[in-house]
Amino acid sequence: MDKMGRGVVTVRFFAVLRERVGTPSIEIAYSEPLTVEGLLTAVQELHPAFKPFRDYVRVAVNKRYAGLDQALSAGDEVAFITPVSGG
């Protein structure tokens, strides 16, 4: 994020979300300060296929789970994590 609050973040999708959205990752450019919650809304508007999953995903920022109010910085790698099922 520069002084004007602009930047680009990468959003990664896995498993069912990767299939439904149709791509493993997208880039989201923003022009004012962006939080995790704002990013969820932005992605939902761009990719309606994400909408049914929105209430179920946890969000990771730079490989760590993050809260909805976390501010994003340019270059962050964000992942939308549907309920996991390893083991």
CB of 43: closest distance to other proteins in angstroms?
17
Torsion of CA 35, 27, 62, 82, to 10 degrees: 80
The distance of closest approach from Cβ of residue 3 to other proteins in the complex, given in angstroms and rounded to an integer, is 30
- Residue 5 or 10 with smaller CB distance to other proteins: 10
| Interface positions with other proteins (CB under 8 A) | 12, 14-17, 52-53, 56, 60, 63-65, 79, 81-87
| Strands, sheet with 25-30, edge to edge from the N-terminal-most edge strand | 25-30, 7-13, 77-81, 58-61, 64-66
